[in-house]
Amino acid sequence: MKKLSIIFIAGLTVFLMSCDILDTEPQASLDAETALTDGASAQAVLAGAYSRMQVGPYYGVHFTLSPDLAADNARYQGFFDSQLEVNSGTVPISNLWISTAWVNIYRVVNIANLLIAEVPNIQDDTFTNRERVLGEAYAVRALAYFDLLRIFGYHWDTTSENGLPLLLDPIENNDFNLIPDLARSNVSDTYNQILSDLGDAISRMEGYTNNTRMNYWAAVALRARVHLYAGNYPQAFTDANAVIESGQYSLPADLADVFLTTGTSSESIFDLVFDDQDQSSLFTFTFQRDEYNVNPSLTDSFEEDDARADLFIFTRGSDRPAKWSDSNNANNVKVLRLAEMYLIRAEAAAFANNDPNAGNDDLNEIRDRAGLDDVEDFADFDEFIDALLQERRAELNYEGHRFFDIVRFDKLGEFFGREDFRKAFPIPRDELQIQENLVQNPGYPSN
């Protein structure tokens, strides 16, 4: 991948956020090209992978928030083209977010590739957590590939050819002639690679529960999410159930405690940690600027007395999500948390058992914390899906789920009147111009 090599080897241009630019450089990271010589350097490279996950185009802002802007939870009231295009639902192949998301998430992949290739060969008797480092690398790569698949691939159709280019070996030696121009794998093979990586991660991390890293239970939780998207409902149920029944996590009585406390909460399976020195830009983009203001249809959708409706602050003419209200941008991103596992288990139970009421206990677990009555039995799956989508909207808004939920239930046309091909974002123009074997998603131009 020649374009990716330029990004990996030479680094990215640093843009200023004041010019509607997505910050692409972590403040402190060790590039994947740094030699791996011992356990300390391996752990520094792994830290670089997490740092790369924190950049603006990825979890630092736009992957966390743009799925709501592309749907109906957020609305654009600012001045910059990239978010306007996402909000409009007509994203061009030149869109700045997709262009920077592609290269930054593949940088995460490449850092993981280097660790997976080199860590087994490190000669260091003091490197006692080698297997755990490898497990994290596999889990990070799985997360990055699944996020890429959700943005750019046909994740809802396992028979589709529109998967991802699977870069599985590190780009090394600055030799551009050795860098493959990879074609896209199909969706089934992409899912198989993600699940294989998660299997490798889980087998290496048993007992490791640090919820500020991709740990054992985070890998199991991610696998539950992956199985759910792929329609593997019995497996999704098994993994979500394992996380819930592990006893490692609990739902705080007050949802605000998940977001408004320092550190992590009892619900956090994997938080990507930001602090006063290592900041996100979530507060900047939701409070100080107007790219991700709350769509009134979100606040209007809450049932009466739903405590989750209190997680908004009205200021400067618009509601703002209080989930990201730290003025120092020290807001942890909740990549995986327990409430989602209950919602996954509810959905998986219903579809695995062909019974729209099989997951009601889990829906009620989430509703109980929100101060709501139990659901009544659903007459059919249409009623269940409507209720499920509303629970996921109320619980997981501004956490990067809404657009993908609408897509996987094939409601993009029904909700927004958009053409079917817009269920996936376009492959960026820059990549298509350099990679001869890379094929654009149907419906979008190639140049």
Asked if residue 18 has pLDDT above 50, the reply is: no
pLDDT on residue 178: 56
Pairwise pLDDT comparison (16 vs 40), residue with the higher score: 40
Give tens-digit pLDDT for 69-83.
999 999 998 888 999
Q: What is residue 31's predicted lDDT score, i.e. its pLDDT? A: 47
Mean pLDDT score, 254-258: 89
- The residue ranges of every structural domain in the chain are 2-434
Task: Kindly tell me the burial class for residue 266, based on how many C-beta atoms sit within 10 Å of its own C-beta (0-12, 13-18, 19 or more).
Answer: middle
pLDDT band at residue 416, thresholds of 50, 70 and 90?
A: very high
CB of 27 within 8 A of CB of 278? yes
Record: fold of 2-434: 1.25.40
Choose from 176-180, 216-220, 433-437 the range with maximum mean pLDDT. 216-220
Length of the chain: 447
User: For 81-186, where are the alpha helices, taking DSSP H only?
Assistant: 81-88, 96-118, 130-152
Contact 182, 253 (CB under 8 A): no
CB 156 within 8 A of CB 423: yes
Where is pLDDT greater, at 11 or 407?
A: 407
Q: Give yes or no for residue 39 having a pLDDT over 70.
A: yes
Least confidently predicted of 27-31, 110-114, 132-136, 176-180: 27-31
Compute the average pLDDT of residues 132-160.
98
Residues 6+ apart with CB under 8 A from 360: 346, 374, 375, 377, 378
The mean per-residue pLDDT over the stretch 168-180 comes to 64
Residue 283 to residue 158: CA distance in whole angstroms: 37
| Cβ partners under 8 Å of residue 308, min gap 6 | 255, 302, 370, 394, 395
Tokens of 118: 């080199």
pLDDT, residue 27, reads: 34
- CA pair distance 326, 334, nearest whole angstrom: 14
Compare 424 and 15 and report the one with higher pLDDT.
424
Q: How far apart are CA 269 and CA 73, in angstroms?
A: 24
Name beta bridge partners: 334.
Answer: 271
User: Over the stretch 305-319, which tens digit does the pLDDT of each residue have?
Assistant: 999 999 999 988 889
Q: Report whether pLDDT(2) > 70.
A: no
Q: What pLDDT score was predicted for residue 34? A: 54
Average pLDDT of the residues in 365-378: 98
* Structure confidence at residue 171 (pLDDT): 84
159-167: average pLDDT = 97
Question: Is pLDDT above 70 for 20?
Answer: no
What pLDDT shows up at residue 261? 64
Residues 153, 172: Cα–Cα separation, whole Å: 27
Going by pLDDT thresholds of 50, 70 and 90, the confidence category of residue 14 is very low
* pLDDT (tens digit per residue) in 205-218: 999 999 999 999 99
Of the candidate ranges 260-264, 336-340, 393-397, the one whose mean pLDDT is the lowest: 260-264
Question: What's the one-letter identity of residue 405?
Answer: D
- Give the confidence band of 447 by pLDDT, cuts at 50, 70, 90: confident
Per-residue model confidence (pLDDT) at position 9: 32
Q: pLDDT grade, residue 35 (50/70/90)? A: confident
The average pLDDT across 9-31 equals 37
Nearest alpha carbon to residue 268 among 243, 285, 245, 239: 243
Please enumerate in sequence order all residues whose Cβ is within 8 A of that of 86, keeping only pairs 6 or more positions apart, or say none.
66, 69, 70, 76, 95, 97
Question: What backbone torsions phi and psi does residue 57 show, to the nearest 5 degrees?
Answer: -65, -15
The pTM for the full model equals 0.93
Reduced DSSP (H G I as helix, E B as strand, rest coil) percent helix, strand, coil of the chain, to 5: 50, 5, 45
155-183: burial string, b at 16+ Cβ within 10 Å, e else: bbbbebbbbbbbbeebbbeeeeeebeebe
Residue 301 φ/ψ, nearest 5 degrees: -80, -15
- The number of beta carbons lying within 10 Å of the beta carbon of residue 136 is 27
